[in-house]
Chains A and B, each alone.
Chain A
Amino acid sequence: AQTVTQSQPEMSVQEAETVTLSCTYDTSESDYYLFWYKQPPSRQMILVIRQEAYKQQNATENRFSVNFQKAAKSFSLKISDSQLGDAAMYFCAYRSGRSQKLVFGQGTRLTINP
């Protein structure tokens, strides 16, 4: 069974600085997708960024980018120019190419200090 591990339960960063959230996963499959979701206090999970395993190029969405290391099974999220609105729980998620099920990590609570 696939597993996703987020080793940092909590992280904090100064506003306008850069922070990297770690995620590792375990799978024997070659076809899969990886996601980062953000969950603010409103409870709604918001998709931040996605990565297809077959793509070598790291995904980027504005201030958010990933470092996808397929051989190491690592999928870290970098947030540049951190803003107060980035404060939330961040979840890394894995989806097999053969299933619609998302497997989530335990989450990292990100605090932004003004």
Chain B
Amino acid sequence: DTGVSQDPRHKITKRGQNVTFRCDPISEHNRLYWYRQTLGQGPEFLTYFQNEAQLEKSRLLSDRFSAERPKGSFSTLEIQRTEQGDSAMYLCASSSTINYEQYFGPGTRLTVT
């Protein structure tokens, strides 16, 4: 399978704990995106990388959120001191520089109890 993969698929954590998600993009894609989706809503943009550079961050991305893509391949999204409002599906997508089409992974569903 050469699509976008995300790990874990599901995460349940207690409020106040830190969590980290991983995304592996399609291998030849140099752009990588993180989105958050709550039930019944469309995905909301969080941040994106071109290679290892983080080029844009949404105002939704509070100080508790940090994303990295250290070698321009996989990326991690960390949420510190999780809150119940962080419960959502976290989606990763990737694209090439040739076209705009973003391919999404299956997402990581986070539940904060």
Q: Do A and B come from one complex?
A: no
Residues on A lying within 8 angstroms of B by beta carbon are none
